[in-house]
Amino acid sequence: MRVASRARHLEVQILADRSGEVISLFGRDCSVQRRHQKIIEEAPVVICPPEILRQMEKDAVKLAKLVKYVSAGTVEYLYTPEDQKYYFLELNPRLQ
């Protein structure tokens, strides 16, 4: 197990309809939190390279299609700037 002490909390907003179409709306950085409550949500995401954010968005869309998700949702990731990797946290069934 690895501790990600400098990880950032990044989110991707998605919309999915009943016909299986899914789009990514945008990403944002929600790293400033207090007691697990977001205090500041920053958009657009500037902490990671654009190509990594695009891949996060593609993965969020892929996940929503895989589970046949329908509605607005938020896919959350931890991103580690040191190695430029991201890790799935959760899919919330709402825009946050």
User: Mind telling me the catalytic residues?
Assistant: 94
- Enter the tokens of residue 29: 């950085």
Residue pair 96/72 in contact (Cβ under 8 Å)? The answer is no
Distances (CA, A) of 19 to 32, 42, 65: 36, 31, 10
User: Rounded to whole angstroms, how far apart are CA atoms 74 and 67?
Assistant: 14
